[in-house]
Structure 1
Amino acid sequence: MTRGNHLVLGMVLGPPAALLILGLCMAVWRWLKLRRRPVVDSEEVLLGAVSQSLQERGRLAASLGELRTVHERLLDALPFGILWVDQRQNLAAVNAAARDLLGVKAGVVGLEAAFVLEAFPWLLEGLERAPGPPYRCEGGGRRWQLRRIEAPHIVGALLQFEDITALEAEERRLQLRDRFAELGEMTAGVAHQLKNGLAVLKGHGQLLDRAGHRDAAQAVLGETDSLERLVQRFLQWAKPLEPQCVDLRLEEVASQAAQEVHRRPAFFDRILTVEGAGRALADPMLLHQALVNLLENACHATPPGKRVQVSVRDRLVEIQDDGPGLSPEALSRMLRPFESGRPDGTGLGLPLALKWLNAQGADLSFFPRPGGGTRVVVRL
């Protein structure tokens, strides 16, 4: 048993064991005291014994109450949830952290565990597991870390649990930042080399134009411009970010991004609307650029005449399109740099949006819509 197990087990079982020992000691002390007394009137002895017993019970009850209070305070001080289910399968203890995480009251102590935890099947499963190291699971739309604590069989089952949804999200953000940094270094070198070569090609195209070879010059210059835009995207990807987060009105940022997309070919014959209002701490430029990329991608996915809708709430922007939707495999591919779902795409639209959002601590999630299409959620 680990040191942590000993600590929790001691907090749970120590006070009840102390109460039992205290009660036994007082009973033995009372018996020895009665044996030493001289023989007196039996009625007087009986009344005296009853009186003293009542006084001792009062003192014992007060001690028990104090120990119970200390026991509960120790459990409530723990930063994670603790469930204690006794041998009769009733809840023997639920500390403050557990009550907050589950949304239950202290009155559930003493009730049947299966009844109280019916809405939390992942906890019932954890109570059935063998004691061992912590493990992670999903339940109720959240991520949890659970550990069945080793304890004597007579005690019942002890389960430690905590909500690690935010912790896992931060771990993913850190992993992405490391990955972006590595790819950025590689991309920067390639982009600078291409930029130098494109400058030479563009110069030769201009010379051809001056020499009267207009058609050939336009072909060279057109391809050069396309490659320069691609290189610019590469440099955007490689650029290190230092977000400056301020309090923003999200509907204003979303409306400005929608106005920019209105001027792009992807918007042609689509309906793009912004509704709702909300605030968040974010970098205005990075958030604007991310929303432009996401909206342009949604317009590309939506057939002409269909709608792309943006909904805004506090710390949240949601984009819904009427396209065919994305399979998990296609989404995983499109979030990788330089992987595009369109023949004319650079494969950097979604990865750049993910990078810009990740840099300011935001999460980007994709969900299929029941009637078709994709729902994109930006949570700041």
Structure 2
Amino acid sequence: MKTEYHNVCEQNDEAGRQGIKAMDTPEVLSRIRSAFELFDSQSALLRSSFENLKQDLAKANEQLNVKNKALSGKVEELQQMSSRLHCILESLADGVLVVNTQLHVERCNPAAENLLNLPRSFVEGRPYADITNGLGNVEKLTVAIEQGRTVLDEQRSSVDARGRRTIVLASVAPIRSATGTILGAVEVLRDVTPLRALEERVQHQKRMAALGEMAASVAHEIRNPLGTIEGFARLLKHDLDLAGQPEHSRLSSKIIEGAQNLNYVITNLLTYARPMQLQYETFEVSTLFNSVSDVLADGAAVHGVNLQLNMPEPLFRLNGDIRQLRQVLINLGRNAIDACPKGGHVSLDGTLQKKDVLFTVSDDGSGIAPEDLSSIFDPFFTRKEGGTGLGLSLSHKIVGAHGGEILVNSKLDAGTIVKVVLPQLGEGS
């Protein structure tokens, strides 16, 4: 579009072509002046528009900076939140597996690594069914993803190559977006193996306690007539000795011996059934060894077994019930001797380990079958011919009453090592 300024210029050009001198024409000068004035006004308007645009741009930049700053704050906040969630996930004692809709594991925390016994680098990205080692349930996970259902505290278990059993409580829940779309599922695995073992132990102890009470009740009923039998057998033996009938006297001696053996079993049974009452005193461990050595030496000599007693230092002291602990070492020593063939070896050691006293009874005898190891402390359990199954049960109870424990390591036909661990300073110290 032509402005008036352009029109004036064209007119001036035309006048020049016609030989008219513009400077001599007042009208032309007036038009030129008007054109310059118009140019000045347009320039001023342009400058004003430019300034306005400049100010608008500055405001826009300022607003953009404010929004960028706010956005940076939000990004930093999200990063901090993500980092915190990551730390929480990594610190959880429960195993966590995050699975997408294709049932591939996207995330695995350290607790899940330990439960699955697989490194995270192997787990993440693989199909869920390939990595759960018997602790997974694809069906429950599929239900969570396809139907949006939650599964709580489903008990699962697996046994590894070394025979160790793992028990978990598994909970599965769908992962939803803000719009409700299911993006996958999260599975939480809680290791309850120690808890279940404790529950089984408590139930086992309850059964054993009930059995002990019942047996003690029966033992009370047996002890009185048993005493009568032994008493009359002694009178009979006395009369037979006076009558000069040694053969019949020998038979009455067998009755007395049988009654005494049965009375010994009843005494152990009643001791096992009653609450343990300990008489604490501080004594040299060498004193305990001396009281045990003669009894075990006689038994070893009868069986033709080599016995070695590694006597502790004289300053090595222990606080406990010496009479009860003597019975423990005698029971363990006799078991070791009975397990050995003629010419076998049995050793008894006493050492101090930090704040604990450690007694070790080892032999190279027949050993204990793996399937029997979990039952050896049960009352009446025995594989020994003529055994009562009360010696180890009573020993276990005595050691437990002292705040200690008995550890058994045995291989069939290769021998057994029994360790008795006791706190050096017991209740009465």
Give the TM-score of the pair, scaled to structure 2: 0.58
For 1:125 and 1:43, locate their aligned partners in 2 and report how far apart those are by CA, in whole Å: 65
CA contact (8 A) 1:84 1:94 kept: no
The Cα shift of 1:146 comes to 0.8
Are residues 1:259 and 2:293 paired?
yes
Whose RCO is larger (CA < 8 A, sep 6+)? 1
In structure 1, the partner of 2:185 is 155
| Letter aligned with residue 337 of structure 1 | F
CA deviations over 1:85-134 (Å, ceiling 9, x no partner): 45453545457xx89x88x9xxx9xx43638xxxxx99753245656523
For 1:113 and 1:372, locate their aligned partners in 2 and report how far apart those are by CA, in whole Å: 40
The Cα shift of 1:293 comes to 1.1
**Distance change >3 Å, CA 306–CA 263, structure 1 → 2:** closer
In structure 2, the partner of 1:112 is 121
The Cα shift of 1:322 comes to 1.6
Match of 2:367 among 325, 328, 336: 325
**Distance change >3 Å, CA 197–CA 155, structure 1 → 2:** same
| Letter aligned with residue 194 of structure 2 | I
Percent of pairs identical after alignment?
20
CA deviations over 1:121-174 (Å, ceiling 9, x no partner): 997532456565234556688764312211116134321224507725742444
**Distance change >3 Å, CA 296–CA 197, structure 1 → 2:** same
CA deviations over 1:173-231 (Å, ceiling 9, x no partner): 44433332332222232233212221122122223323444443344135303421331
Match of 2:135 among 126, 141, 147: 126
CA contact (8 A) 1:247 1:279 kept: no
| Letter aligned with residue 391 of structure 2 | G
For 2:171 and 2:319, locate their aligned partners in 1 and report how far apart those are by CA, in whole Å: 40
The Cα shift of 1:61 comes to 2.3
The Cα shift of 1:356 comes to 3.8
Alignment of 1:58-207 (within 5 A): 58-59=73-74, 61-62=76-77, 65=80, 69=84, 80-87=93-100, 89-94=105-110, 111-112=120-121, 114=123, 124-127=133-136, 130=140, 133-135=154-156, 144-152=166-174, 154-164=184-194, 167=198, 170-171=201-202, 172-207=204-239
In structure 1, the partner of 2:19 is none
The Cα shift of 1:296 comes to 0.2
CA contact (8 A) 1:254 1:291 kept: no
Are residues 1:241 and 2:272 paired?
no
Root-mean-square deviation (CA), in Å? 4.6
The Cα shift of 1:288 comes to 2.9
The Cα shift of 1:276 comes to 9.8
For 1:261 and 1:364, locate their aligned partners in 2 and report how far apart those are by CA, in whole Å: 21
CA deviations over 1:53-104 (Å, ceiling 9, x no partner): 223432552365268548856995x7x5333345453545457xx89x88x9
For 1:122 and 1:188, locate their aligned partners in 2 and report how far apart those are by CA, in whole Å: 58
Alignment of 1:3-42 (within 5 A): 41-42=56-57
> Larger deviation: 313-322 or 277-286?
277-286
Are residues 1:308 and 2:346 paired?
yes
For 1:254 and 1:378, locate their aligned partners in 2 and report how far apart those are by CA, in whole Å: 14
Structure 1: give runs of 5+ residues left out of the alignment. 1-39, 116-120
CA contact (8 A) 2:283 2:318 kept: yes
CA deviations over 1:319-359 (Å, ceiling 9, x no partner): 3322223435777699552856235x445434443454455
CA contact (8 A) 1:293 1:349 kept: yes
CA contact (8 A) 1:245 1:360 kept: no
> Larger deviation: 222-231 or 259-268?
259-268
Are residues 1:341 and 2:397 paired?
no
Structure 2: give runs of 5+ residues left out of the alignment. 1-54, 125-129, 141-150, 176-183, 423-429
For 2:251 and 2:63, locate their aligned partners in 1 and report how far apart those are by CA, in whole Å: 116
SS in 2 for 1:155: strand
CA contact (8 A) 2:133 2:158 kept: no
| Letter aligned with residue 199 of structure 1 | G
Are residues 1:224 and 2:256 paired?
yes
Alignment of 1:280-319 (within 5 A): 284-310=322-348, 314=356, 317-319=359-361
CA contact (8 A) 1:143 1:164 kept: no
The Cα shift of 1:303 comes to 1.7
SS in 2 for 1:342: coil
SS in 1 for 2:278: coil
Q: Which has the larger radius of gyration?
A: 2
Match of 1:50 among 51, 55, 65: 65
CA contact (8 A) 2:305 2:346 kept: yes
SS in 1 for 2:105: coil
SS in 2 for 1:145: strand
Number of aligned residues: 325
**Distance change >3 Å, CA 145–CA 232, structure 1 → 2:** same
For 1:158 and 1:250, locate their aligned partners in 2 and report how far apart those are by CA, in whole Å: 54
SS in 2 for 1:112: helix
